[in-house]
Structure 1
Amino acid sequence: MIKLTMFKGGNIINSGDHFRDAGILYRKLYVKQYETQISTNDEFIITLSETKKGVHVIDCQKYKMTGRQIHLVLPGQSSHFNFLEYTTAFQIKMTQKNFEKLRLSLPFDSRLYKDYPVFGLSEKEFQKLNHEVEKIGSELSRYQPFLPIIDSRTGTTFHEVIRLLTNRISNLEDYTLPVVLNRFLNLIEMYYKQEHAVAFYSSALNVTKNYLAGLSQQYLQTTSRDLINNRILKEAQHLLSLKSSSIKATMLELGFEDKSTFSHFFKRHLKMSPTAYRNIKIER
């Protein structure tokens, strides 16, 4: 567990609490006339804001502060806030890996979160979410936080946010993934360490490989093979960044039979060997 006590920039009255562990950051800020720096995020961010004055810019699009609101920022999006009055803001940040796990549990296209990144809340809804977020911060602040509780509360908060969002959308069917594609994503999460071939998944779903490829391209703008490979690659990157996990252990964990095949796979996607990647991560 890491407690962060400093936050640069702006006119901060009190930096509040900042705790990070297990790929989750909880942050509570007391701010006045505060502007964050423009940055491209590599995490998924949920922000609860009470201020009625200010603006949040996401990918150059301005969203006015109007009181109790939720703000969502996806990995890869640029974002910065400009608060114009004293306020309290609550944030939960999760790594892209954690976000993808939660996202795949819902049958919605990621366009949903990009098209509706900011929406208002009733006082009751705000207080309920605030309660969940502060519980996450409370657990993270412990000397030895219990990770299953953090995972459970983070998942609950994420699903509650999406429930509130989808209840406000009249054209939800435009963002709902086909049943087959949603089942495909869930199967990848279940079997990517053992099954790397598209044929396994198409057979399990009782569809052709071409049909699965068409769905992946139409709704997710990628290939079905890349969906599998990207999941394998993300886990490989995670394991190789751990001092306790060797290249051989990573290779075996992800279902590769020999080191050369794993190295070729890794280099083809990241343009560097597993050894080079591991050395960079461990040194940091």
Structure 2
Amino acid sequence: MKKEFPVYDICKFSYAQEQDVIIKSLAPYLKAMRKLHFPHRHDFYHIILFTSGAGTHAIDFETFTIAPFHVYFMAPGQVHGWDFEGEVDGYVINFSADFFKSFLYDSQYLEQFPFFSGNVHYSETEISQADHSTAIEIMEKAVLEAEGQGRFKVDLLRVLLLQFFILIAKSDRYSLALDNKGNRNNTVLRNFEKLIEQNYKHQRLPKFYAELLCITPSHLNAICKEFLGASAGDIIRNRIVLEAKRMLINLDFTVTEIAYNLNFEDNSYFCKFFKNQAGVSPETFRRRI
């Protein structure tokens, strides 16, 4: 298998080569990172708040319009790239998956925030005008703290980031998802999505996941349709197609290699599967991208 397109770890972005968090003003950050390959993935959480500029930002093949006070959230593994129009500025936040683990009693605390789910539907939001000044105040404090060497620097950064996440989560954009957090069926759905992430290359039948969740396949299917408007089988297949798309944009991969990586028996079966789900053949998708 040939090398996949770039997956950057947080050390690539760190002058000290050992940081678990990086918070900077966006314009100088972009200038320093001009040699990055696009599109690419990160193995850390990546957040951008724009305060000026225009253009587009693509996350997992969904294209968003860049505008002031729009925020973009990327979970580890997601593919993204951007196309700026003129000069842009704002703030960028990078932090590793382990950054909050020693700080929070609940190791799954961040999972309550929809924008960290890896679901591209929740990857972008606009900060309300009433919260503009609060968001800027938090980010300015975070940038200054990140540049300093104070004794409690790391803990203060954690507190400031949590304030920022909570500010965003309180918006109407995420209210329904948060209201459903305590719902048992929503918990089942979140666990289903985690299991898919771990097993989608080898397990494609809802029955396998239903057994792990201790429910019947029909119950799992009903939950998926209630919350996502799609069957359990569709959700599994969508995850496979997403990974195929992520790999197709790397021209070092042949379609046959992608089929093999995703555990398809042969290339023709993979091409038929992809076309049924995406509406075009893998080769056509690659040419369009």
- Distance, in Å, in 1 between the alignment partners of 2:161 and 2:204 is 29
Q: Deviations over 1:58-94 (max 9, x none)?
A: xxxxxxx9xxxx633689xxxxxxxxxxxx9415599
Within the candidate set 222, 227, 248, 2:235 is matched to 227
Partner of 1:151: none
Question: Which protein has greater RCO, CA pairs closer than 8 Å, 6+ apart?
Answer: 2
Task: Verify the 8 A CA contact 1:45 1:93 in the aligned structure 2.
Answer: no
Within the candidate set 165, 177, 180, 1:162 is matched to 165
Q: Deviations over 1:172-204 (max 9, x none)?
A: 751426211110011111111111111111111
Partner of 1:10: none
The within-5 A match list for 1:166-205 is 166=169, 173-176=178-181, 178-205=186-213
Task: Verify the 8 A CA contact 2:135 2:164 in the aligned structure 1.
Answer: no
Partner of 2:255: 247
TM-score where L is the length of structure 2: 0.52
Partner of 2:13: none
Deviation at 1:216, TM superposition (A): 1.3
Change (3 A) 1:258 1:172: closer
Amino acid at match of 2:111: L
Structure 2: gaps of 5 or more residues: 1-5, 7-26, 75-87, 95-109, 148-158
Structure 1: gaps of 5 or more residues: 2-14, 48-55, 57-64, 76-87, 95-104, 135-155
Q: Deviations over 1:126-179 (max 9, x none)?
A: 235546999xxxxxxxxxxxxxxxxxxxxx998774344346889875142621
The Cα RMSD (Å) is 4.8
Task: Tell me the percent identity.
Answer: 22
Secondary structure at 2:196 match in 1 = helix
Deviation at 1:242, TM superposition (A): 1.2
Q: Deviations over 1:239-274 (max 9, x none)?
A: 122122222221121121122221111110222222
Change (3 A) 1:255 1:118: same
TM-score where L is the length of structure 1: 0.53
Partner of 2:140: 127
Matched length: 201
Task: Verify the 8 A CA contact 1:239 1:245 in the aligned structure 2.
Answer: yes
Moved more, 245-254 or 168-177: 168-177
